[in-house]
Amino acid sequence: MYACVFRNDRVFIVNVYCGKTDRQALRLDVYSPTRGRVRVYAEAKGAVSALSRQDYFTFTAESEPPPGPEARLAPLSLAMSFLELRGYEEQRYGAFLPACYGGQELTRARTGCLGALATRATEWAEQNRAFLERGSDDWYRVVRELSALAVQYGKEPD
């Protein structure tokens, strides 16, 4: 798949499945040097951008704080190029950092936290319950904006 990366003064936003046609799946990764990483994945029987949360059969989110010094990762910088961000993501993935996750995959609810965040699973689930059950106005706005940008910048797989 072709990914589109956008940057503002606070974060990178990655539309992982950035094609010119609307997809039945959407994965959005947000990277912040100060707040860490968030990933949201949605999948439905039609274009995610045209549907609401109740129509998704999979809707999950995960988050993690910025890596600490023990992760031995260079800090994320908004000055990174796409290739540098990709390299950062590969290193981050391999570091098995603490993270929390939740949502629904098909008919299965899932939630939890890994590593040093394991004791925060209940707190994370409570804080994110409304979003995972219903989405939010901000979520739908971002999905529509990313869909429009994908038409402009996206590329279909070969």
**Strand stretches in the chain, DSSP E:** 4-7, 12-15, 25-32, 36-44, 56-64, 99-105, 108-114
Which of these, 2, 31, 7, lies nearest to 79 by C-alpha position?
Answer: 7
pLDDT tens profile 51-78: 999 999 999 999 999 998 888 888 999 9
Decide if pLDDT at 157 tops 90: no
Helix extents (H) in 37-136:
82-94, 121-134
pTM: 0.94
d(CA 50, CA 23): 10
Strands 25-32 and 12-15, sheet pairing: antiparallel
pLDDT tens profile 16-50: 999 999 999 999 999 999 999 999 999 999 999 99
Domain ranges of the chain: 4-153
Is residue 36 within 8 A of residue 12, CB to CB? The reply is no
* Mean predicted lDDT score pLDDT of the chain: 94
